[in-house]
Amino acid sequence: MAPVSETSTESGATAVASLQTQLTDAIGDAIAVAYPAQSGADPLIRPSDHADRQANAALALAKKVGANPREVATRVTEQIAVGDVVEQVEISGPGFLNLTLTDAALWRQVEARRVGDRLGVPAVATGVRTVIDYSGPNIAKEMHVGHLRSSVIGDALARILTFLGSDVVRQNHLGDWGTQFGMLIQYIDEHPEKPWRHTEITATDADGENASTVSALDALYKAARAVFDTDPEFADRARARVVALQAGDEATLATWQEIVKESQYAFDEVYERLGVQLTEADSAGESFYNDMLDDVAAELEAAGLAVVSDGALVVLSDEVTGPDDEPVALMVRKRDGGYGYDATDLATIRYRIRDLGADRILYLVDSRQALHFRLVFEAARRAGWLDPERVQALHVPFGSVLGPDGKPFKTRSGGTVRLMNLLDDAVAAALTVVREGAEAKGTEVGEETLNLIAEQAGIGAVKYADLSGSRVKDYVFDVARMTAFNGNTGVYLQYAHTRMVSILRRAAERGLTVPERVPAAVDTPLETAERDLILTLDAFADVLAEVAVDLEPHRLAGYLYELSRVFTDFYEACPVLASEGAVRDRRLAIVDLTRRTLAKGLDLLGIAAPERM
């Protein structure tokens, strides 16, 4: 068995098979020899309190072959090749196999993972084109917490899948089209004195908060709505403007384009601050599909899939019925001839498969839109666009962000909470925490540095809080808890990173560098805390591969938290700078690999890894 596979990756580094995989193969082979009829059974390699790992398969095997579990365990053990990877096998309890690994096998993993910048992670998603639809804010409207989740989770998945070799196409499905813009444009034209362009906005908005072009546009839209409801003449002019917009009237389109551009400007500010890697090049808003809508409707109608009902063109679901037991309808074309959200998403999925060549399409949209996507996917399958054998279309849902009262997050007046204000709150809380930390340690930190660290810590805290829970769960937005130094927080992970940096920095100050190759320190056996840390480090690639399958970034978050905790135990048990010779070398190598793994993991979550805090 070759522990290090020879698949070389782009960076010239080598993909490394994890010990988990090596053990699964080795014990699996032993099972196949001992019980040929059971070959292929999962040896169930798990962490163990008594050894490096344990194999739990004997109990289930015993049932299958009708023997006593300890007997089965003994027979399997006899077939395990002891030496290269496995040092010792002990049968414990009802038939668990306690596995001790050789120091050489453990150390081989460290050395292999230290080479190159991939940390031995294989590019398992190579050749897969993944379209990720995320963020999707609405033009002329403030981004809300739902867009925060979509942006943060979507970006983490985009980063992780890219690292795993997938060809990722980011798509920002902006809500940039609809009849509401006719009214807004008419109002803007009639009120040139009201500022909304980012160059015009200097003051603060109604709440006294920092204004942005989208908050200004949001306010103008509300004002327009109020006039629309009370002034029939304005209502007529607004309706005419909708017609002009749809007919492509030049002046109307020009204003619409400017509204889109200004909104994008505001969104970009949020992305920039959040470290979300979306740019204007990734924007393909609803309007992008306008030209395709007639054709999509015609295709669906010709296929007999879309039918006229009450003057509207609809696709009736084969799978879902409403409360009245009637099939639920997807609206292809409204009675007035207009197209909406449903039609756009039909054109979108067709485009992503036919034109973008997607193998996998991920829609990062909150769980309340589950039915919408179910219907869109069903229609796309029936239309023959989406062949489930070849293309995977997935709604990747997430829960809501709740306020301190446990109810969906709203401002006191019931409005949407501005994302920027939330981020400001988190950064302010982080500033208090890092200032106190610096004071407690007695370190002199300049105000500018402090603010920079607080920004990284506050933003990291918000993102980590969002990413560390299972996606579909709601969570409470609680800045005090998010920015705590202790517990499962972004700040805790960032702080762990700074400690690793500081060990390496102090080593360098003493002229100690981490040697490029560290021979296995066979003279001094690896200590338990070293073994635990090496085993944890070795699991990085397996965790990423899991995230690629179930699209749950919280697995990576949980892994990094575990890594930081195991590192703390290691650091308490195993002096680094106070040790000597080969032991010091190998511990420096372990600290270095841990730091790089943590930094890479944080980067894949889109979280900064500061050098100091």
Q: Which two tokens stand for residue 439?
A: 């004071």
Q: Which residue in the shown chain puts its C-beta closest to ligand ARG?
A: 136
Size of the site for ligand ARG (CB under 6 A): 9
User: Smaller CB distance to ligand ARG: residue 137 or 610?
Assistant: 137
DSSP track, 428-447: HHHHHHHHHHHHHHT----H
Question: How far apart are CB 344 and ligand ARG at their closest, in Å?
Answer: 7
User: Smaller CB distance to ligand ARG: residue 177 or 234?
Assistant: 177
Asked if 130 and 362 count as a contact pair (C-beta separation under 8 A), the reply is: yes
Type of residue numbered 353: I
User: Smaller CB distance to ligand ARG: residue 393 or 518?
Assistant: 393
- Cα–Cα distance measured from residue 282 to residue 291, given in angstroms and rounded to the nearest whole number: 19
Type of residue numbered 324: D
- Near ligand ARG by CB under 6 A, which window of 14-22, 56-64, 132-140, 237-245? 132-140
Question: How far apart are CB 291 and ligand ARG at their closest, in Å?
Answer: 17
Select from 133, 142, 282, 466 the one that contacts ligand ARG (CB under 6 A): 133
Q: Which two tokens stand for residue 451?
A: 């603010």
User: Smaller CB distance to ligand ARG: residue 396 or 608?
Assistant: 396
Within 496-525, which residues bind ligand ARG (CB under 6 A)? none
User: Smaller CB distance to ligand ARG: residue 155 or 345?
Assistant: 345
Select from 43, 136, 154, 490 the one that contacts ligand ARG (CB under 6 A): 136
Per CB under 6 A, does 52 bind ligand ARG? no
Select from 112, 153, 266, 365 the one that contacts ligand ARG (CB under 6 A): 365
User: Smaller CB distance to ligand ARG: residue 138 or 456?
Assistant: 138
Question: How far apart are CB 247 and ligand ARG at their closest, in Å?
Answer: 24
User: Smaller CB distance to ligand ARG: residue 265 or 341?
Assistant: 341
Question: How far apart are CB 131 and ligand ARG at their closest, in Å?
Answer: 10
- Near ligand ARG by CB under 6 A, which window of 37-45, 60-68, 131-139, 526-534? 131-139
- Near ligand ARG by CB under 6 A, which window of 40-48, 130-138, 438-446, 597-605? 130-138
Per CB under 6 A, does 360 bind ligand ARG? no
Query: In whole angstroms, how far apart are CA 375 and each of 232, 301, 394?
Result: 38, 16, 12
Per CB under 6 A, does 138 bind ligand ARG? yes
User: Smaller CB distance to ligand ARG: residue 120 or 154?
Assistant: 154
User: Smaller CB distance to ligand ARG: residue 332 or 588?
Assistant: 332
Q: What is the maximum span of the chain, computed from C-alpha positions, in angstroms?
A: 91
User: Smaller CB distance to ligand ARG: residue 288 or 363?
Assistant: 363
User: Smaller CB distance to ligand ARG: residue 154 or 469?
Assistant: 154
- Near ligand ARG by CB under 6 A, which window of 133-141, 323-331, 353-361, 554-562? 133-141
Within 171-210, which residues bind ligand ARG (CB under 6 A)? 173, 175
Question: How far apart are CB 133 and ligand ARG at their closest, in Å?
Answer: 5
Angle, CA of 137, 392 and 277, to the nearest 5°: 35
- Cα–Cα distance measured from residue 204 to residue 211, given in angstroms and rounded to the nearest whole number: 5
Q: What is the 3-state secondary structure (H, E, C) of 546-596?
A: HHHHHCCCHHHHHHHHHHHHHHHHHHHHCCCCCCCHHHHHHHHHHHHHHHH
Q: For residue 12, with 0-12 CB atoms within 10 Å meaning exposed, 13-18 middle and 19 or more buried, which class applies?
A: exposed
Q: Which two tokens stand for residue 562?
A: 């575990």
User: Smaller CB distance to ligand ARG: residue 97 or 274?
Assistant: 274
Question: How far apart are CB 159 and ligand ARG at their closest, in Å?
Answer: 20
The HSE-up count of residue 149 (CA atoms within 13 Å, CB side) is 29
Q: Which pairing describes strands 53-55 and 45-47: parallel, antiparallel, or unpaired?
A: antiparallel
Question: How far apart are CB 365 and ligand ARG at their closest, in Å?
Answer: 5
- Cα–Cα distance measured from residue 130 to residue 424, given in angstroms and rounded to the nearest whole number: 33
Torsion of CA 249, 250, 255, 259, to 10 degrees: 80
The HSE-up count of residue 446 (CA atoms within 13 Å, CB side) is 3
Q: Which two tokens stand for residue 421?
A: 């204000």
- Cα–Cα distance measured from residue 179 to residue 219, given in angstroms and rounded to the nearest whole number: 17
Question: How far apart are CB 136 and ligand ARG at their closest, in Å?
Answer: 3
User: Smaller CB distance to ligand ARG: residue 363 or 464?
Assistant: 363
DSSP track, 480-536: HHHT-SSSSSHHHHHHHHHHHHHHHHHHHHTT----SS----TTSPPPHHHHHHHHH
Within 416-445, which residues bind ligand ARG (CB under 6 A)? none
Question: How far apart are CB 134 and ligand ARG at their closest, in Å?
Answer: 8
Within 572-611, which residues bind ligand ARG (CB under 6 A)? none
Asked if 97 and 55 count as a contact pair (C-beta separation under 8 A), the reply is: yes
Per CB under 6 A, does 348 bind ligand ARG? yes
Within 261-290, which residues bind ligand ARG (CB under 6 A)? none
Asked if 367 and 399 count as a contact pair (C-beta separation under 8 A), the reply is: yes
Select from 111, 218, 342, 345 the one that contacts ligand ARG (CB under 6 A): 345
Question: How far apart are CB 376 and ligand ARG at their closest, in Å?
Answer: 8
Q: For residue 52, with 0-12 CB atoms within 10 Å meaning exposed, 13-18 middle and 19 or more buried, which class applies?
A: buried
- Binding residues vs ligand ARG (CB under 6 A): 133, 136, 138, 173, 175, 345, 348, 363, 365
